[in-house]
Structure 1
Amino acid sequence: MQIGRQAWMAQTSGDLSLKDRMALLSHSLLPVLKQSVKMYALAHCPKATVQGSLTLDDLCLPDSAEVKQALEKMQSCSSDALQNHCLRTWYYAIGFARMQGLKRDDELLAVSCLLHDLGMTEPHYQHHANCRCFAGQGAYAAKDWSIERGWTIPRADQLFDVISMHMNPHVSLDEGTEAHLLQQAASCDVIGSRGFEFAPQFRQQLFQHYPRLDFNQQMIEFTQQEAIHRPKSRTAMVVQSGFKQLVNLNPYLD
């Protein structure tokens, strides 16, 4: 069973076994190391940017009822800083997709980005009784929300997997295009992973429209508490790996 997917979550409640930890490390160590080297080495190298002409006006949320309802759901329970993070995550995700020419389900991607941190909000931190993982809690909440709005079970299950897998240190394209894009985009916004692929002007425009506010501190405090309360979760593993330092050292915040 693939770590983070619904079947794994149902069996483990989100607790990593030693075997799971080793599997995540072996799967992610090399790609994460490569991204980290580039992240810091190219932080102040304008020639490294790929999408110098990309602007927010080029990237519009899909105009569908599902996306509008997801936006309303996200806004109804999230802090301003968390709302802005979710929106920045979508812009990064669709930006990566455009740059790489990836075929994707834009509606599924948008809803996943908007709802991917429901597990950080008070109404949904304990959404599911048998889950000890905030990403899993958010995935269960998003799945229930989608089914209430008439999504088919297979599509709702896909939404679950995309959201739950975003806490894996690395998600390859082979594991699903939308899951890959969400993980990369969330990581880009939180710690700067692959931030060099966006021009400084694009990032500045993004931060002007969706300022970070106290997002860094909220994220650090939340993950540290999550690691204490859910010590076998993927979040705890990330915290133990120096997550606080990575957030504070994000080189793409100006």
Structure 2
Amino acid sequence: MADHFADFGFPDTDLARQSLDWAYEHESATLANHSVRTYLFGRAAGEAGGLRPGAAYDDELLFLACVLHDAGLTPEGDGDQRFEVDGADTAEAFLRGRGLALDRARVVWESIALHTSVGIAGRMRPEIALLHAGAGIDVTGMGAEAVPADLAERANAAFPRLDCGAELTGAITAQAVRNPAKAPLFSFPAGLLSQFHPEIAVPAWKDIAEGAWPGTA
């Protein structure tokens, strides 16, 4: 993996290397590869919009957030919250334990916690917006025109896709089936759960709203 730091211009810091090692140790190759492509595609989306790493945003923080953004889908990161928040907590604890300052670790936390929040993440600071953009480009292809064709080819060759979409969907929904608290109503995990496991009943918003404050006018 070390050669990729030079080949793709990753921020070459001890913490970046440790984080990448963590991803490949605790995640499947599919998810870890997706996390690296997320960084490459997010950085490219930023450059297409005039955002230069090191000038418009902290490239190390973007890299850390991207490579750890699916930590909530690992056994180590699987808690009782939606996977984005569990992953943010896991990443922050890992980085703080290795000396990252609280304010910098908080940027990583926010980036990971918000990375599926369409309409919100894109309006936040660049590290948050570019993780969101990169993950979306990699999983859905939306916005892929921002990624140079040669970079996309090199990234997909060096970090193979390995049926990424299906594995991500399966990991998120499997957690939610085991623990419904991980798919709160109207969240991204809940949306996937309703599509892939329609047999699982979810509360109707109408019933929730109409049942609020019983006995009051």
Give the Å deviation of 1:173.
4.9
Distance change (3 Å), C-alpha of 1:173 and 1:214: closer
Higher CA-based Rg? 2
Distance change (3 Å), C-alpha of 1:231 and 1:135: closer
Checking the alignment, whether the CA contact within 8 Å between 2:38 and 2:66 is kept in structure 1 is yes
| Residue number among 122, 135, 142 corresponding to 2:75 in the alignment | 122
Aligned to 2:50: 101
Checking the alignment, whether the CA contact within 8 Å between 1:143 and 1:160 is kept in structure 2 is yes
Residues in 2 aligned to 1:82 and 1:121: alpha-carbon distance in whole angstroms: 10
Q: Tell me, yes or no, if structure 1 residue 239 matches structure 2 residue 192.
A: yes
Gaps of 5+ in 1: 1-55, 245-254
Aligned to 1:139: 88
Aligned to 1:211: 160
Give the Å deviation of 1:218.
0.8
Residues in 2 aligned to 1:235 and 1:226: alpha-carbon distance in whole angstroms: 13
| Amino acid aligned to 2:184 | K
Aligned to 1:157: 106
Residues in 1 aligned to 2:21 and 2:13: alpha-carbon distance in whole angstroms: 13
- Aligned pairs for 1:44-193 within 5 A: 59-102=8-51, 103-126=56-79, 131-193=80-142
Residues in 1 aligned to 2:48 and 2:76: alpha-carbon distance in whole angstroms: 36
| Amino acid aligned to 2:126 | T
| Amino acid aligned to 2:64 | V
Checking the alignment, whether the CA contact within 8 Å between 1:171 and 1:183 is kept in structure 2 is no
Residues in 2 aligned to 1:67 and 1:177: alpha-carbon distance in whole angstroms: 18
Q: May I ask how many residue pairs the two structures share in their alignment? A: 185
Q: Greater CA deviation, 113-122 or 166-175?
A: 166-175
Distance change (3 Å), C-alpha of 1:209 and 1:58: closer
Residues in 2 aligned to 1:243 and 1:199: alpha-carbon distance in whole angstroms: 33
| Amino acid aligned to 2:134 | A
Higher RCO (CA-CA < 8 Å; seq separation 6+): 1
Checking the alignment, whether the CA contact within 8 Å between 1:118 and 1:138 is kept in structure 2 is yes
Q: Tell me, yes or no, if structure 1 residue 225 matches structure 2 residue 174.
A: yes
Give the Å deviation of 1:237.
3.8
Residues in 1 aligned to 2:49 and 2:120: alpha-carbon distance in whole angstroms: 15
| Amino acid aligned to 2:173 | Q
TM-align CA RMSD? 2.4
> What TM-score, normalized by structure 2, do the two folds share?
0.77
Checking the alignment, whether the CA contact within 8 Å between 1:87 and 1:113 is kept in structure 2 is yes
Aligned to 1:12: none
